[in-house]
Amino acid sequence: MSIKIVQNDTRPPLEFTLTQDGAPVDLTGCTVKFYMKDATTGSVKINGATCTITDALKGKCRYSWTSSDTNTVATYLGEVEVTFPDGKIQTGYKQLSIIIRDDI
């Protein structure tokens, strides 16, 4: 999945539906975090920012950008990490390509 956003924009938020084997992942009691790194340099831009779970039973969550997230033009790779109530962690579901282009 590829996301395109303009430098310094903070809308729209990233909306995720986490699935496994075609079924939504039950996020009840879970914590979801978002990570993003520069695709060229590997420099981490977002290191475990908390996502908002919007519908736990349907696996839906959202990450709202901050101004420092989108202030640098580059291509990034992003992913989510879910911590389940039993403490077990699952990362990856889908890796995102995020392109932040220059503001005119």
The residue among 46, 44, 36, 35 whose CA lies nearest residue 89 is 35
Higher-confidence residue of 94 and 39: namely: 39
Rounded Cα gap, residues 37 and 52, in angstroms: 20
| pLDDT score of 32 | 97
- The two three-digit tokens of residue 59, written as one number: 């696996």
Query: What integer best gives the mean pLDDT of the chain?
Result: 94
Spell out the SS3 assignment of 72-103.
Answer: CCEEEEEEEEEECCCCCEEECCCCEEEEEECC
The model's confidence at residue 30, banded by pLDDT at 50, 70 and 90, is very high
Average pLDDT of span 2-19: 94
- Give 104 or 52, the one with higher predicted confidence: 52
From 3.30.70.360, 1.20.58.1180, 2.60.40.3350, 2.40.110.10, which CATH number describes the 2-101 domain?
A: 2.60.40.3350
Angstrom distance (rounded) from CA 17 to CA 52: 12
Q: Which whole number is the average pLDDT over 1-25?
A: 92
